[in-house]
Amino acid sequence: MKNINFVGPRYIFISISLAVIALSLVFMFVKGFNFGIDFKGGTSMAVSFSKTDITLSQVRNIFKEADPKFASASISRLHNLKTSNSNQSRAMFNLTVGEFFNANQKSKLVSDVEKVASKMNTNVKFESFETVSGYAAAGLRKSATWASLVAVILLLIYMAFRFQFVFGVGALASLAHDLVITAGLYSMFWIRFDSTVVAALLTLLGYSLNDTVVVYSRIRENLKKMRGKPMTEIVNVSINQTLSRTINTSFTTFLVVFILLLFSSSVLKPFAFGMSFGVITGTYSSIYIASPILIGWLEKRRKKSALHR
């Protein structure tokens, strides 16, 4: 197997990562996130039309005429719906608006939309109607924040028991790298940020840490087997020895989540988006961030050990 020099250009890749992290932070703090209704409150509905060639702009005009609040609604097209009692298809759309509808308002909206749609010779049907109040959304945001913090703390405790402190620093840097860049992509591409995204980010942290642990375990073994060798050589050999396992695992995972991103419904797309790019950043960080960070620390520790002899 060819021995690839991963640690040689480590400063170049660390510089690139820092630049991407800085760009991600700019987007996150300046542009913000496209929070879903479960984090900001509002109403999400799935509607179907008998006219299958109806366009997004026509759907917006129908709802805007029925209620001006829908002028700024988020509208996306879903896969056509096959009716159960016939072979006819219906055009499906998802609409999200930051408004709360009570029972009377919902009834009026349905009635008004049906009237406007009839003018365009199409029948409309509300397949689902989900409303989340601002109070409930605040509770979900708080729960998601605590869940994320607890998960990170538990991961760090695991690293502290499994490896030495210096390894924990590298793992923490790797996790922060993956989290910030992936979150930045949601802001950059204005992908809906909801509870499924939190699940994706937490899954990503576990996946990235698993990759890092595999490489770290091999580095720890080689520190004993290759005693006296330069630290850069030990780390580089360890990465190469675990490379095939890393690539195989990452590729199969990426293949599944990318297919999910292409063909899943709008509900799962934010999750699949985070996992697709997260697998890439997680694999990258275990090779170019977590492992190279160890080199400087381990070299200093080796020098101190030599001085005390």
Residue 308's pLDDT is what? Answer: 55
d(CA 262, CA 16): 29
Residue 24's pLDDT is what? Answer: 95
Amino acid 41 reads G
Burial 252-264 (b: 16+ CB within 10 A, else e): ebbeebbebbeeb
Residue 4's pLDDT is what? Answer: 83
- Contact present, 180 and 25 (Cβ < 8 Å): yes
Torsion of CA 140, 143, 148, 151, to 10 degrees: -140
Residue 170's pLDDT is what? Answer: 81
- 221-267 pLDDT per residue, tens: 888 888 878 888 888 998 999 888 888 888 999 999 999 898 877 77
| Domain architecture of the chain: domains with CATH | 10-37+136-307 (1.20.1640.10), 42-132 (3.30.70.3220)
How far CA 148 is from CA of 32, 201, 228, in Å, comes to 19, 9, 41
How far CA 161 is from CA of 34, 155, 188, 262, in Å, comes to 38, 10, 37, 40
99-104: which pairs have CB atoms within 8 A and are 24 or more residues apart? Answer: 99/42, 99/43, 99/69, 100/41, 100/42, 100/43, 100/131, 100/133, 100/134, 101/43, 101/129, 101/131
Residue 85's pLDDT is what? Answer: 61
In the numeric block, the tokens 């942290």 are attached to 205
- Which residues of the chain have a pLDDT value below 70? 1-2, 83-87, 133-138, 140, 302-309
Q: What is the pTM of this model?
A: 0.80
Residue 292 makes CB contacts below 8 A (sequence gap 6+) with: 6, 7, 10, 13, 14, 235
